[in-house]
A and B are shown apart, each in its own frame.
Chain A
Amino acid sequence: MTGEIGQLALCLALALALVQAGAGLWGARAATSTSLDLSRHVARMSAFGFFAFIALAFGALTFGFVTSDFSILLVAQNSHTLKPLIYKISGVWGNHEGSMLLWVLVLAVYSAVMALAVRGGARLTSAALGVEGLLAAAFVLFILFTSNPFRRLDPMPFQGEGLNPLLQDPGLAMHPPMLYLGYVGLSATFAYAAAALITQETGSHWARAARPFMLVAWIALTLGITLGSWWAYYVLGWGGFWFWDPVENAALMPWLVATALIHSTLATERTGAFRSWTLLLAIAAFSMSLTGTFLVRSGVLASVHSFANDPQRGEYILVLLGLAIGGALALFAWRAPGIEEGTSFEPASRETLLLLNNVFLTASAATVFLGTLYPLLLDAVTGTRISVGPPYFAITFAPIFIALLLLVPLGPRLAWRKGDLVGALKLLAPGAGLALLAAIVIFAIHAPHMLAAAGAFALAGWLIGASIVDFRERWKARGAGVQSFASVLAHAGLGISLLGIVGTTLWRSEALEVLAPGQSMQVADTQLRFDGVTPRQGPNYFADRATLEVIRNGKQIATIAPEKRSYPAEGQAITDTSIRTNGFSDLYVALGDDRGGGRWTVRAYVNPLAPLIWFGGAIMALGGLASLWGRLRPNAVRAAPAE
């Protein structure tokens, strides 16, 4: 029954999305205020209804997973009665069809919030709801025609096939919803930008209306990428945190463009500068999230994300991508001449720094885009299979990003329109001092002496030092509210993450040995004594658990227990690494192959500063939250846009 309820709810939701699109866009062109109010009202009610029906469909599918209803094909293929409850629930989006339903659920939430939102004029809201309705309808159609999660299986099997064990992990249960909250949040921004172009209300107030959605999307993307990177670090057993894998790039590109967007919007809101550019970026940001969805969902890339390869799905998303981007760009080209630019600014001003921020961020996004799509293009055209790896990104992405990071501290210290560059540099002198100190210390203690290492630490010192200065200045004028600390937090988080990346890249120690019980291995200053492997049974897996004593300076300080787990239902095995962290350095141990006679391969790393990578990501997200907090307090909106 639940399957049929879900199916019916999807069909009704499709009808409501079409009503929302029609009414919303009709409202945008309405001649009288009564017909505008009526259309907007219908669009808003449809958005609420759409949310209710999608929630019902999602609930029905979740119910199927929780009760192990194997008469639903998707549940039979991706679930198992012995799976713990949390993974039965996360199994809903641990597959293509269910994850697309999650995508639409998130879209429905944003649509409903847009319908509730009070900011932006009636005409703009109406048009934005219309555009969002079009997107909603397109994705529901995609689900119904190519990815129906409610397909039946007859006869019904006694047991399901289970979920990929790599996905049975708390970090990964959270990662897709977080990332989708980001991807889809950019659809709301896109809808407001398109609405501004349709209604020709291209002033600042569309940006003000879209800004909370942009911030939520950016925070979610930041957290989603951080979670994904953390998951890769402890699950894959290689000790790496970023692989420049195309699916990672698929999330990084929207993040880079969204970061550019939240910065250029600051100027658009405040002084009316970059009006057309901000509109274009809003379109580009959502295009990047559609591109990401295409890359990950179409099966053109091979990864843990490509569940099943069906070329039809890829084609559908590609057509949708073309229509959305093409339509929006055509609209932009048509309206652009009418867009008024705001007041002018001097070369030394915050606007100039925001402009440079945008140039560097979009250029870095473009290099990632080319590196990710070039192999696909080459394969499609010539049939030559190549892959583009870390060396490419080290040459292209890194220099652009370093140039950006050098300029980051200046922006917040320059005034709008006409700033005092010398004054700002004087003020930031302590930051430069910290950078110099970091460079000298690192150059002295690190052998062999490396200028690149010293430079990288100097850059992190510059970011963190300048954030401290910025904090001090903003604390003096703290009447402006929480949001004035947004840039302090976001920029400091960037510095902290950089510190983690540089530290672990430079100082990582690695050891790989075959050990018999009683034997020891050495990694950095730590000795690991192998006490053998014992079998253990989990809820839905069997594990070989190794016990290793951690010995430092002749003293035994801890016991760690990495595992190898095999999942009989899925016929798979995974490595469960064991990480011991003190907040500044990780001891990371993974169990390798069984070499017979009680001997096992053990791989161990010491990763100094590694935890700072994810800690920095969380701080950056907190910065986003601070900015959002200021926006959502209605009386604070007008009073203090002093970011």
Chain B
Amino acid sequence: MTPKQRRRLAFALALVVAGAGGAALVLGALKDNVLYFYSPSDLATKHVADGVAFRIGGLVAKGSVVRGPAADVRFVVTDGRASVPVEFRGVLPDLFREGQGVVALGALGPGGVFNATEVLAKHDERYMPPEVVDALKRSGRWKEGEQ
């Protein structure tokens, strides 16, 4: 082999090794580290084990927000057909309101309560999280949520 060919071969080998390593990492990571999104109706039909992290979205049910003595909050997320109680300790986003769209990240705990580690609301008045729009459309309650 000429030096030129050797260099090309080294380059190709390096790329193949890096590519294979990267692909292995990516596939492994994608298998275990994606978060699924469920609407309350999805949750009612699927069995999701306690402690498995996922995201849930819908509207904050009217009159359901209860603030505890410490910085904890409880509320109900609904898509019109099913609903899920949510517990959260932290500061709610500025645009968190009853009757408006919300996405929460967390896992189910005992008693079917969703323990949220993060709560996201919309960024501005014109915007609704697309997952929530989708969930509401599927449960046939989209227009009510649109306001």
Contact = CB atoms under 8 A, between A and B. Distances in A.
A304 B123 contact: yes
Nearest to B5: A344
B146 interface: no
Interface string B25-46: 1101110111111000000000
A359 B123 contact: no
Given A302-B127, A302-B129, A400-B25, 4 more contacts: A391-B29, A512-B89, A593-B92, A603-B91
A363 B22 contact: yes
Contacts of A512: 71, 89-91
B14 interface: yes
Interface residues of B, number: 42
Nearest to B11: A355
19 contacts: A164-B123, A164-B124, A166-B124, A302-B130, A344-B7, A359-B14, A360-B18, A367-B26, A385-B37, A388-B35, A395-B25, A395-B28, A395-B29, A400-B25, A512-B71, A512-B90, A514-B71, A592-B71, A603-B90
Interface string A95-122: 0000000000000000000000000000
B33 A386 contact: no
B37 A387 contact: yes
A590 interface: yes
Interface in A359-389: 359-360, 363, 366-367, 370-371, 374-375, 384-389
Contacts of B125: 570-572
Interface string A170-192: 00000000000000000000000
B144 interface: no
A396 interface: yes
A601 B71 contact: yes
Given A572-B94, A573-B95, A601-B91, A388 B33 contact: yes
B98 interface: no
Interface residues of A, number: 52
Interface in A262-320: 277, 302-304, 306, 308
Given A374-B30, A386-B35, A572-B124, A356 B22 contact: no
Nearest to A399: B25
Interface in A301-360: 302-304, 306, 308, 341, 344-345, 347, 355-356, 359-360
Interface string A558-587: 000000100000111111000000000000
A513 interface: yes
A400 B36 contact: no
A382 B90 CA distance: 34
B95 A572 contact: yes
A145 interface: no
Given A359-B18, A593-B91, A601-B91, A392 B3 contact: no
Contact of B22 (A164, A306, A400): A400
Interface string B1-21: 001100100110011001101
Nearest to A596: B67
Contacts of B30: 370-371, 374, 388, 392
Contacts of A595: 67
A387 B55 contact: yes
Contacts of A302: 127, 129-130
B50 interface: no
B70 interface: yes
Given A384-B36, A391-B33, A395-B33, A367 B91 contact: no
B63 interface: no
B90 A356 contact: no
B131 A385 contact: yes
A166 B123 contact: yes
B89 to A, nearest CB: 7
Given A303-B123, A360-B18, A601-B91, A387 B35 contact: yes
A275 to B, nearest CB: 12
Interface string A231-254: 000000100000000000000000
A5 to B, nearest CB: 29
Given A359-B14, A601-B91, A513 B71 contact: yes
Nearest to B125: A571
Given A388-B33, A389-B33, A564 B127 contact: no
B32 to A, nearest CB: 8
Interface string B80-94: 000000000111101
Given A359-B18, A572-B124, A237 B91 contact: yes
Contacts of B110: none
Contact of B29 (A164, A384, A392, A514): A392
